[in-house]
Chains A and B, each alone.
Chain A
Amino acid sequence: MANVINYISNLAIPTIIVTIIFYGLKEKAKVFDTFLDGAKEGMEIVFKMFPTLLGIFLAVGMLRTSGLIDGIVNLITPFTDFLEIPSNILPLTVLRPISGSASMAVAVDIMQNYGVDTLTGIITSTIMGSTETTFYTIAIYTSAVGIKKTRGILIAALAADVAGMLASTVICRILS
């Protein structure tokens, strides 16, 4: 079972790339030139993102090395043990809805310390892949059109995040 899942996972990206290029050729697009145009835009995105990433890495790095995160994790471990969530991913679950880049930095840190391919590493990756920066997303979309009353969607969105995180832990436990 795990092998089949692995195989499908490995197949996904090459298939998407080849399908899109195939359609490009079929419909006579200048495939390589177009690719370069897009890739240039990609470079701009990364350059724009870099200062934020650096700032967040700095703050999170300091927070971690000061021992503060460990202190907080120790405090809430009894609750998460009860829910069978590995306590070392807790900082991630708290940061994930608030800041994309901060949670990314924490995720990298967890995977460096506990291993990418361990259960903890895989749960961390799954949480990162299956949830979004909820606060940021809601803020951007409502502020773009000047909305003030959000009719409680924050609760719905956060409940979805919690469901996604719990599901990630359970699924990774079952599959590993």
Chain B
Amino acid sequence: MLNILWPIFIILSVIYSIISGNIEEVNTGIFNSLSEAVELSITFLGTICLWSGIMEIAKKTSIISKLNKLLKPFINFLFPDLKNNEMAKQEISMNMIANILGLGNAATPLGIKAMQTMQKANKSKETLSNSMMMFIVINTASIQLIPTNVIAIRTSLNSQNPTSIIIPVWIATIIAGFVGIFLTKILIKKVR
């Protein structure tokens, strides 16, 4: 996707800036954006290391299995087809936990594992199964407890209260999640 978008963005910008007389701004913009990328990465370095470290501790404790138990009713409701597929359910709940804790980088590898397990039970190998549909939509819904990346950015931009967005994020995520799950339940029934 970015192999197409990236060059289009750059070429269009240069052409447009020449037409509109903004070429000087674009020239300074190039170098400003480089230092912005460096600054942001340095802030990221701190937060991502913190959460990876904390998550590593969580992995060594019984918290993970406790959360698994907590998620069971949701998983049974969302994935009725996986009734006897304990392996898939376990992997899905690990993926959800990583998502909930805002660890996108941990969530994706776990999610791919879950997809592979579900694919084994999938009857038509080129078409998404019902459970896979639901699983992907939930992963696009960004269900997370602490939006760590956004908080990191707000902190780096000197916000007076970087964490003030947590509750609005919760409400918006829940609404988006409901819409996604509802539509997917319809699609599962209507589209074969």
Binding site for B on A (CB under 8 A): 5-6, 8-10, 12-13, 16-17, 19-21, 23-24, 26-27, 29, 31, 34-43, 45-46, 49-50, 53-68, 71, 98-99, 102, 104-105, 107-108, 111-112, 116-117, 121-122, 125-132, 134-142, 144-153, 155-157, 159-161, 163-165, 167-168, 171-172, 175
Cβ-defined contact, A66 with B41, below 8 A: no
A-B contact pairs, 15 of them (CB 8 A): A16-B145, A39-B56, A61-B30, A67-B16, A102-B5, A112-B157, A116-B158, A130-B142, A144-B115, A146-B126, A147-B119, A152-B187, A159-B180, A160-B141, A160-B180
The prevalent SS among residues of B at the interface is helix
List residues of chain B with CB within 8 A of the CB of A9.
Answer: 161, 163-167
Query: 4 extra interchain contacts, Cβ-Cβ under 8 A, other than A66-B12, A99-B2?
Result: A59-B13, A66-B26, A128-B147, A149-B127
Q: How many Cβ-Cβ contacts under 8 Å join chain A to chain B?
A: 357
List residues of chain B with CB within 8 A of the CB of A135.
Answer: 1
Cβ-defined contact, A130 with B41, below 8 A: no
List residues of chain A with CB within 8 A of the CB of B20.
Answer: 66-67, 71
The prevalent SS among residues of A at the interface is helix
Cβ-defined contact, A98 with B1, below 8 A: yes
Cβ-defined contact, A153 with B30, below 8 A: no
Cβ-defined contact, B157 with A23, below 8 A: no
- B175 touches which of A64, A66, A163 (Cβ 8 Å): A163
Segment 148-166 of B: residues with Cβ below 8 Å from A: 149-151, 153-154, 157-166
Cβ-defined contact, A108 with B40, below 8 A: yes
Question: Which 8 interchain pairs have the tightest Cβ spacing?
Answer: A38-B56, A61-B33, A164-B176, A129-B147, A160-B180, A65-B29, A42-B52, A42-B49
Cβ-defined contact, B6 with A71, below 8 A: no
